[in-house]
Structure 1
Amino acid sequence: MKKTNLIQIVSVIFFGLSIYAASAQQTILSSRLPVQGRAFSSAPRFHRVDTTKYRNLPPAVKKLYTHSAGLFTSFKSNTTKLSIAWETVDAELGNNATPIMSRGFDVYVKESDGWHFAGVARPDLDSAISTSTMVEHMENTEKEFLLYFPLYKELVDFKLLIDEGASFEPITQSFDKKVVVYGSSIVHGASASRPGLAYPAKLSRKLNANVVNLGVSGSARMEPAVADMLNDIDAPDLIVMDCVPNSSPQQVADRTFAFVQRLRQAHPNVPILLIESITRQVGNYNMQRKQRLADQNANFRKEYERLLAAGYKNLHYIATDHLIGDDTEGTVDGTHPTDVGFERMVDIIQPKMESILKTGKAEL
């Protein structure tokens, strides 16, 4: 018998035994819980986009939109222990990502001053099937939980395990605004340490906005089919384009104007915020990478100014300056932000978003 098959069999047995061992607990099937954070309610349950509907999306983009990045669920319970059993399509891990971010969950509890981190689900490193206790020994008072799904995997299914006899109430979060963020791996969540620390998730909690994560790692290149898909999103209050990192300088020059022009066909008055690529620290000493970044951002700025000159309104812009700090220690690999890098991004992006969402126009 092949080693991989043996591992799968052992994992299935372990998964079953884990559920059996938790027989003193209630099992809450995922079907009882609402899934939020999706652009379209018609998408498959744990997918961000129904890729069978958008046939013209590039193949890589289609696959990435099966990842559950940015999706979450909420519920109330007085359980003292919260565990989870789940399955992803495979157990592969990236070389610049934590297993918890890629294939795990994290959970928050709502307090009077906002959401507080409560625990994580650590995935099995060898099997696509995992079980994990996220938090235990809690007080048996009713709490409101916010559970973020894995960022970099297609989620097959999950079950919650709570105390026998504990209360349980699925809830749907109410938001003041809807923000759609299209972008690269940085939007997708690389390299946050856990799902709730990706910058769209952080902004959602801080702004009480439904921030829809449409990041596609390595594949945000402003194709017309992507603009058409974004045009089908109902009633966004703000569209964010953080897609410069994946586009070559020439693609930025060739596609930015047309992409915004296409978005305006369906969203003529929705504010659009264009964000330059973060200063990739891999270019600190690699002069070729440094020049590429400079050309990408310079071309993005030129296209933004060309759009303004052409009469397009309600366009807003954030330059790369200070986005991940100035100490060269804001990334995990010279390209993708750490949690510190993401926090620095939020410190700059949040006030701009707040201003736009409040008035429809950013303060100068």
Structure 2
Amino acid sequence: MEKKNIILIFLFLTCGSLSIYAQQVVPASRFEIQGRPFDNTPKFHRIDTAKYIGLPAAVKKLYTHAAGLFVTFKSNTSKLSLRWKTVDAGLGNNSTPIMSRGFDAYIKEVNGWRFAGVARPDLKNMESTATVVEDMAKTEKEFLLYFPLYKELLDFDVIIDENASFIDTKQSFDKTIVIYGSSIVHGASASRPGLAYPAQLGRKLNANVINMGVSGNARMEPAVADMLSDIGSADLIIMDCVPNSSPEEIKERTFNFVKRLRKSHPQTPILMVESITRQLGNYNLKWRARLIEQNTNFRLQYERLQQAGYKNLYYIPTDHLIGDDSEGTVDGTHPTDVGFERMLKIIGNKVEVIF
């Protein structure tokens, strides 16, 4: 009898809790996914990998990651929660779980987007549920949710108050910027998705920044150039791909990569960014020599393109990109939030000059 009473009390408390905190679930199907380079892309992928069969296998897999994708909506909810599923629960050894598999949220204010909270992923399971922010005023707010950077997202639900309003929204941007690059563009090692420099650049300039970073695999293959060429509305293309390309690849591929981009984007400005000065080279002489050769070859190809008559080309050298105090990375290669802030200042200022 005593055991039965305990069970009844538990059920009563559980049901009571559900009635007090009654919620409505808004499925992913009710949102327009933003930050994609192409319409009609399946799932939460950045591109239709089945369409671009010539891409290297590793590049295809990385473009299933939801880096740079986001949704926006309006609601007067007092609490915002998420339920979502990623392809697995694995984590990188130089990244936070929130950046890799979680979400972060912003709320629009008069002077721009303001950070509101994060959805922390379950560390063991593919499926996660988390409260992002609660105890808010029941006034209408516009939310922005950045998707996980380093995982394929399989599904998500937004959970709000039972009687709260909900309106899916779509942002109006001043410009579209496409950034092709390495793990640094992809987002490593920001603490959360909204602090990767492409996301920060988008908020800073009210630009639709399309994140085409492919961690460890930005090597300027012709098939990648052709895929990027299909993006029709770019106002600026940023090439931040030096870190992954060998000195030989830079010498052999940079000119033709830009040449292919120019077939469909004859006047679009292209900003070429040298590799950050990776702090692994502070004492590792082999790394230091490689970096110098990479950046030297990239600059020579930039000059070659100019001599060949290519216009609207811009260049950022490695100088000061992540600061000069050796405190801008998590592991000697990937920027921390401090490193990204420093990159944003230099790259953002250059982009404003171009525009």
Q: TM-score range by the shorter chain?
A: over 0.9
Letter in 1 for 2:234: P
1:333 equivalent in structure 2: 331
Structure 2 residue corresponding to 1:244, chosen from 226, 238, 242: 242
Q: Deviations over 1:98-129 (max 9, x none)?
A: 00000000000011111100000000000000
What does 1:219-234 correspond to in 2, within 5 Å? 219-234=217-232
Structure 1 residue corresponding to 2:147, chosen from 138, 149, 162: 149
TM-score by length of 1: 0.92
Q: How far is the alpha carbon of 1:21 from its aligned partner?
A: 8.7
Q: How far is the alpha carbon of 1:235 from its aligned partner?
A: 1.6
What 5-or-longer segments of structure 2 have no aligned partner?
Answer: 1-14
1:302 equivalent in structure 2: 300
What does 1:112-191 correspond to in 2, within 5 Å? 112-191=110-189
Q: How far is the alpha carbon of 1:354 from its aligned partner?
A: 1.1
Letter in 1 for 2:304: R
Q: Deviations over 1:49-84 (max 9, x none)?
A: 100000000000000000000000000001010000
Separation in structure 2 between the aligned mates of residue 54 and residue 161 of structure 1, nearest angstrom: 35
Does structure 2 conserve the Cα–Cα contact (< 8 Å) formed by 1:84 and 1:133?
yes
Structure 2 residue corresponding to 1:62, chosen from 54, 60, 63: 60
Query: Match of 2:184, SS?
Result: helix
Query: Match of 2:104, SS?
Result: strand
Separation in structure 2 between the aligned mates of residue 22 and residue 94 of structure 1, nearest angstrom: 39
Q: Deviations over 1:239-284 (max 9, x none)?
A: 0000000000010011000100111111111000000000000110
Does structure 1 conserve the Cα–Cα contact (< 8 Å) formed by 2:33 and 2:69?
yes
Runs (4 or more) in structure 1 with deviation over 6 Å come to 20-23
Does structure 2 conserve the Cα–Cα contact (< 8 Å) formed by 1:121 and 1:133?
yes
Separation in structure 1 between the aligned mates of residue 96 and residue 199 of structure 2, nearest angstrom: 17
Q: How far is the alpha carbon of 1:45 from its aligned partner?
A: 3.1
Does structure 2 conserve the Cα–Cα contact (< 8 Å) formed by 1:30 and 1:157?
yes
Does structure 2 conserve the Cα–Cα contact (< 8 Å) formed by 1:38 and 1:49?
yes
1:270 equivalent in structure 2: 268
Structure 2 residue corresponding to 1:25, chosen from 23, 26, 36: 23
Query: Match of 1:120, SS?
Result: strand
Query: Compared with structure 1, are the counterparts of its residues 163 and 46 closer, same or farther at alpha carbon in structure 2 (3 Å cutoff)?
Result: same
Separation in structure 1 between the aligned mates of residue 346 and residue 100 of structure 2, nearest angstrom: 26
Query: Match of 1:52, SS?
Result: coil
1:92 equivalent in structure 2: 90
Structure 2 residue corresponding to 1:71, chosen from 69, 72, 78: 69
TM-score by length of 2: 0.94
Separation in structure 1 between the aligned mates of residue 348 and residue 274 of structure 2, nearest angstrom: 15
Query: Match of 2:294, SS?
Result: helix
Query: Match of 1:240, SS?
Result: strand
Q: How far is the alpha carbon of 1:42 from its aligned partner?
A: 1.9
Does structure 1 conserve the Cα–Cα contact (< 8 Å) formed by 2:279 and 2:332?
yes
Structure 1 residue corresponding to 2:203, chosen from 202, 205, 227: 205
Q: How far is the alpha carbon of 1:22 from its aligned partner?
A: 9.2
Separation in structure 2 between the aligned mates of residue 42 and residue 306 of structure 1, nearest angstrom: 38
Q: Deviations over 1:171-216 (max 9, x none)?
A: 0011000000000000000000000000000000000000000000
Does structure 1 conserve the Cα–Cα contact (< 8 Å) formed by 2:236 and 2:271?
yes
Separation in structure 2 between the aligned mates of residue 22 and residue 328 of structure 1, nearest angstrom: 52
Q: How far is the alpha carbon of 1:340 from its aligned partner?
A: 0.3
Does structure 1 conserve the Cα–Cα contact (< 8 Å) formed by 2:43 and 2:154?
no
Separation in structure 1 between the aligned mates of residue 43 and residue 87 of structure 2, nearest angstrom: 14
1:286 equivalent in structure 2: 284
Q: How far is the alpha carbon of 1:324 from its aligned partner?
A: 0.2
2:48 equivalent in structure 1: 50
Query: Match of 2:228, SS?
Result: helix
Q: Deviations over 1:317-362 (max 9, x none)?
A: 00000000000000000000000000000000001101112xxxxx
Letter in 2 for 1:257: F
Does structure 2 conserve the Cα–Cα contact (< 8 Å) formed by 1:22 and 1:161?
no
Letter in 1 for 2:232: D
2:254 equivalent in structure 1: 256
Q: Percent identity?
A: 70
C-alpha RMSD over aligned residues: 1.3
Separation in structure 2 between the aligned mates of residue 23 and residue 249 of structure 1, nearest angstrom: 58
What 5-or-longer segments of structure 1 have no aligned partner?
Answer: 1-16, 358-364
Separation in structure 1 between the aligned mates of residue 47 and residue 19 of structure 2, nearest angstrom: 36
Query: Match of 2:340, SS?
Result: helix
Letter in 2 for 1:197: L
Does structure 2 conserve the Cα–Cα contact (< 8 Å) formed by 1:35 and 1:45?
no
